[in-house]
Amino acid sequence: MEDKKYSCEYIERNKAVSGCFAMFMLFVGITFIPFFF
């Protein structure tokens, strides 16, 4: 039970981190891609 609860929290945290990272990459792409064209 404890392991399952921990893994669920870990997955939720990873999803949050992945979402933040995706937003960061999107922001960087929007900011810097015009310099390459």
Q: How many domains does one find in the chain? A: 1
As averages over each run of 10 residues, the pLDDT of the chain (37 residues) reads: 71 87 92 76
Q: How far apart are CA 3 and CA 10, in angstroms?
A: 10
1-37: string of b/e by CB count within 10 Å (b at 16+)?
eeeeeeeeeeeeeeeeeeeeeeeeeeeeeeeeeeeee
Please report the pLDDT score of residue 4 as a whole number. 67
